[in-house]
């Protein structure tokens, strides 16, 4: 039953990065220093927080899609396990963005996560196309 973890973690990431969206909305519309925040729209903290928000929600959604697909398609267990773990490793991308923002961690996790989610998605596409030919 590969895929359940992807669905659970995917929804968790969607919720967490939705909360980041509320922080962004607060900073844009209600915060005392909102004019400064708006002026820095494409730079620094503001840019990285928006980047993390967008990628966290998107990769959470991709994990939900991967998980549900793995639960429904007859992908052989060893390959399904690899696809599942690679998709979960893709969640390192938004984590890496946030860690870079908050702690100055080098963006290695961003690259690892980005590569993992691309490989997982391409592999799952290959599995889906192979089913059509069977």
Is a pLDDT exceeding 90 seen at residue 125? yes
Question: 75: helix, coil or strand?
Answer: coil
Residue 17 · residue 94 · CB < 8 Å: yes
**Would you state the pLDDT for residue 46?**
80
Domain count along the chain: 1
User: How far is Cα 93 from Cα 87, in angstroms, rounded to an integer?
Assistant: 11
Question: 68: helix, coil or strand?
Answer: helix
User: Which residue, chain included where needed, has tokens 């922080």?
Assistant: 23
Domain that holds residue 69: 4-133
Q: pLDDT tens-digit profile of 15-36?
A: 999 999 999 889 888 889 888 8
Find the mean pLDDT for residues 101-130: 96
Question: 30: helix, coil or strand?
Answer: coil
Residue 95 · residue 59 · CB < 8 Å: no
Burial of 35 (0-12, 13-18, 19+ CB in 10 A): exposed
Q: pLDDT tens-digit profile of 29-81?
A: 888 988 888 888 888 788 888 989 999 999 999 999 999 999 999 999 999 99
39: domain CATH number is: 1.20.120
**Would you state the pLDDT for residue 134?**
53
pTM for the model stands at: 0.91
- Strands of the chain, DSSP E: none
Residue 27 · residue 53 · CB < 8 Å: no
Count of CB atoms within 10 A of residue 112's CB? 15
């Amino acid at each position: 039953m590969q895929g359940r973890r992807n669905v659970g973690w995917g929804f968790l990431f969607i919720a967490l990065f939705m909360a980041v969206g509320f922080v962004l909305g607060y900073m844009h519309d209600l915060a005392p220093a909102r004019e400064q925040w708006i002026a820095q729209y494409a730079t620094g903290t503001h840019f990285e927080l928006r980047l993390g928000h967008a990628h966290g929600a998107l990769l959470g959604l991709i994990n939900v899609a991967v998980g549900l697909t793995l639960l429904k398609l007859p992908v052989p267990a060893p390959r399904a396990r690899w696809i599942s773990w690679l998709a979960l490793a893709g969640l390192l991308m938004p984590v890496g963005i946030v860690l870079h923002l908050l702690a100055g961690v080098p963006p290695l996790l961003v690259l690892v996560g980005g590569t993992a989610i691309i490989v997982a998605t391409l592999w799952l596409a290959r599995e889906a196309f192979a089913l059509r030919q069977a």
